Amino acid sequence: MPLCRKESAFGMHFDFHAMPCEVVPSVWCPESYTRMLDECKPDFMQCDTKGHAGLSSYPTNAGTRAILHEGLDILKFMREETAKRGIALYGHHSGLYEQNAVKLHPDWAVVDENGKRSTDYISVFSPYVEELLLPQLRELAGTYHLDGAWVDGDCWASYADYSHWAQEAWCAAGHTLPLPKPGEDGYEGFRDFVRVGFERYVARYVDALHAEFPRFQITSNWIYSARMPEKTTVGVDFLSGDYDCANSLESARFQGRALEARGMPWDLISWGQNARPLSWATHDRNLKGTVQLCQEAAVVIAMGGCFQFFNIHYGHGGILQPWGLPSWKEVAAFCRARRFCFGAHILPELGILLPFDRSLSGSLYPDDTPGLLVFRRWIQLAQDSQFSTKTILPHQLQEDGLQRFQAIIVPSSSRLAPESVTALLQYVKQGGRVLVDGGSATAFATGLGFTVTQPKERLVFVQGGQRLAAGETPCNEISSAIGIPFGHIHEDNFLESPSAPAGYLLPHGLGGVAVLNFSLGDFYETNRTPTTRDFLREILDTLGYIPSVTVTGSHFTDLTVCQKDGRLLVNLINFAGEHNVPNVRSFDEIPAIGLLTIRFVPAIPVNKVTLLPENRNLPIQRNPDGSSTVTLERLEIHAALEVQ
């Protein structure tokens, strides 16, 4: 019996998006598949069933077939071979991004505000689900006995829709025509209406499949991710997304934290090749090196997630790259050796709020809203500063559990909801600590009794320790009768130059709020310096935040502290290497780091520390202040300390 998705810690994903005029497959080498399954032994496989061109790579009776090699059914072959080995099989099936369906049914297409029909994207209000998507998914579940499906091209392929389907749904909900257009009153409300339509569209196929095939597990790619932070309402079985193929470590680090916050089974998919451009249609791809993929796997594994990586077929689905198999086998072994991390949850100590920002036009769920971008910058800054962070989703501010966090960071946002501010101030009243980035200062002014000017972009020199970091960033000026100034922003690149406070510490109830005079998240985007990281450490120290676990010895050490089965798992990841160098598409070596010192606060009674996966006990040093420390001589890629 194959593992279900919530039990699966390592998977492999292969799709090829069958195109018109291509024979599927044009070259057939079944032994490359069976060798891969035998050597890599994934918990599950995801294989191509229908790509964005809309042509099914199996002999469908419900949709449009690609040109299939006579007598050959790749999907049937994959189902038979995975079943023999007890490996689950999922289909990669395109959802709203479906070019052939739009060609055959132009009436199903999204229509823009100018009346132009899309040639790529389908309206969520159209009968596409009942007439094409569900019949094909039923084939996968009932005819081919697949274990589930990963529906691609869904939320990120959703757009404001002016089709007659959308107009009818709008009127049925009690609204009047015409539909609001960009710049008109009610436009954002209309976009929210279509977003609700998207969730209902997903629920239509998820609920139907669960009713007919209860064991069939399904998700929609990137649903309830960082780009879709609303409360979960659709009963998908797991969360998943394929993150950026360039600067992948940082992409996985912030995307994984948004998924981990949901408390659901989740995975992230690495592009096993660095593609230019980042497109399903490009052939300009370089396979990533073994160390490169293991580094990415470590980021996902350290957060308790499932790691899978995506690669491509050649011969239109007929052959894998045989020279890649030895590397993939090593990556698989690396993941299996760290299965002990799977299902862990990040310790809720330092929370970072994901701002809910939907002010941009274009895609309904873009990955470049100001809120999402500044959230990403704050994850990078805090993690680079060796703090273990956990995401707080906007709706979670109104739920119980905020008091678990020692401190919460609020990134810059001009669209903080009043109820979010109220919840954060109530958390502070009860003893919490909040760091407010400069762009969010206005939202807290009334509640904390200070005034603030509108931000203006200017060159500043931020002091961290005895060094300065220069950069342009939005700056405000705060006036407060009770605020305690902290930090320094200098006028010139000299410590002796005139300076203004970097921010103010404002007491509130039993806790306090540190409000910055500038946007630190934006500043770090172009100022990745030790000085900037030192500045953040000084602020959090001023605020009174004391992390349970700290690491020193190399600033390349990424720290993620998790809980699992009543134990702490302290994950250490080597972030050295060329992962964020634009022209480096593949690498197979990173320098080891060490000696690392890991310190546990006195409140943690450390009785035993085991280094995993080596399963070696580390000597514990007891310090006069009651803290405990252990040392790690060398870190290659990833290690975890199991603390009892």
The count of other CB atoms within 10 Å of the CB of residue 368 is 11
pLDDT of residue 481: 82
Q: At 281, is the pLDDT very low, low, confident or very high (cuts 50, 70, 90)?
A: confident
Between 20-34, 132-146, 273-287, 582-596, the lowest mean confidence (pLDDT) is in 273-287
Q: Indicate if 302 and 382 belong to the same structural domain.
A: no
Residue 527 has pLDDT above 90, yes or no: no
Q: Indicate if 457 and 321 belong to the same structural domain.
A: no
Residue 597 has pLDDT above 80, yes or no: yes
Q: Indicate if 225 and 331 belong to the same structural domain.
A: yes
The count of other CB atoms within 10 Å of the CB of residue 247 is 14
Q: Indicate if 9 and 22 belong to the same structural domain.
A: yes
Q: At 448, is the pLDDT very low, low, confident or very high (cuts 50, 70, 90)?
A: very high
Average pLDDT, the chain: 95
pLDDT of residue 469: 96
Number of independent structural domains in the chain = 3
Q: Indicate if 319 and 351 belong to the same structural domain.
A: no
Can you tell me whether residue 338 is helix, strand or coil?
A: coil
C-alpha 529 chain-centroid distance: 24
CA distance 125 to 447: 42
Ramachandran class of 315: left when φ > 0, alpha when ψ lies in -120 to 50, beta otherwise: left
Between 270-279, 315-324, 399-408, 424-433, the lowest mean confidence (pLDDT) is in 270-279
CA distance 477 to 501: 9
Residue 185 has pLDDT above 80, yes or no: yes
pLDDT of residue 466: 95
Q: Indicate if 479 and 623 belong to the same structural domain.
A: no
Residue 489 has pLDDT above 90, yes or no: yes
Tell me the angle at which helices 74-84 and 30-40 cross, rounded to the nearest 10 degrees: 30
Only one residue has tokens 């010895």, namely 553
- CATH number for the domain harbouring residue 332: 3.20.20.80
| Residue ending a domain, choose from 293, 312, 341 | 341
Q: Indicate if 593 and 568 belong to the same structural domain.
A: yes
Q: Are 562 and 611 in contact (CB under 8 A)?
A: no
Query: Bridge-partner residues for 503, per DSSP?
Result: 486, 516
Q: Indicate if 439 and 329 belong to the same structural domain.
A: no
**HSE, side-chain direction, 13 A CA sphere, residue 334:** 25
Q: Residue 481: which domain range? A: 347-545
Q: What is the pLDDT of residues 201-256, one digit of tens each?
A: 999 999 999 999 999 999 999 999 999 999 999 999 999 999 988 889 999 999 99
Strands 596-600, 484-490: pairing kind:
unpaired
Q: Which 8-state DSSP code applies to residue 633?
A: S
Residue 621 has pLDDT above 80, yes or no: yes
Q: Indicate if 614 and 478 belong to the same structural domain.
A: no
Query: What type of residue is 549?
Result: V
Token pair recorded at residue 599: 């310190």
pLDDT of residue 576: 96
Strands 567-574, 239-242: pairing kind:
unpaired
Helices (H), 337-436: 370-384, 418-429
**HSE, side-chain direction, 13 A CA sphere, residue 250:** 20
Q: What is the pLDDT of residues 355-398, one digit of tens each?
A: 988 777 788 999 988 889 999 999 999 999 999 999 999 999 99
Q: What is the side-by-side order of every strand in the sheet holding 621-622?
A: 549-552, 596-600, 628-632, 621-622
Percent with pLDDT over 70 in the chain: 100
Q: Indicate if 379 and 459 belong to the same structural domain.
A: yes
The count of other CB atoms within 10 Å of the CB of residue 456 is 9
Q: Indicate if 427 and 328 belong to the same structural domain.
A: no
Q: Are 375 and 355 in contact (CB under 8 A)?
A: yes
Q: How far is CA 439 from CA 226, 411, 478, 539, 541, in A?
A: 20, 7, 12, 17, 21
Q: Are 123 and 132 in contact (CB under 8 A)?
A: no
Token pair recorded at residue 190: 């209309």
Burial of 116 (0-12, 13-18, 19+ CB in 10 A): exposed
CA distance 466 to 531: 8
Strands 609-612, 616-617: pairing kind:
antiparallel
Q: Indicate if 460 and 598 belong to the same structural domain.
A: no
Strands 456-464, 467-475: pairing kind:
antiparallel
Residue 277 has pLDDT above 80, yes or no: no
| Residue ending a domain, choose from 341, 374, 409 | 341
pLDDT of residue 580: 82
pLDDT of residue 415: 86
Q: What is the pLDDT of residues 56-88, one digit of tens each?
A: 999 999 999 999 999 999 999 999 999 999 999
In b/e form, how buried is each residue of 572-606, taking b as 16+ CB within 10 angstroms? bbbbbbebeeeeebebeebeebbebebbbeeeeeb
Task: List Cβ neighbours of 114 (8 Å cut-off, separation of 6 or more).
Answer: none
Q: What is the pLDDT of residues 320-352, one digit of tens each?
A: 888 889 999 999 999 999 999 999 999 999 999
Strands 10-15, 306-312: pairing kind:
parallel
By C-alpha distance, which of 370, 285, 321, 269 is closest to 11?
Answer: 269
Q: What is the pLDDT of residues 602-616, one digit of tens each?
A: 999 999 999 999 999
Query: What type of residue is 141?
Result: A
By C-alpha distance, which of 123, 106, 119 is closest to 198?
Answer: 123
| Residue ending a domain, choose from 545, 571, 601 | 545
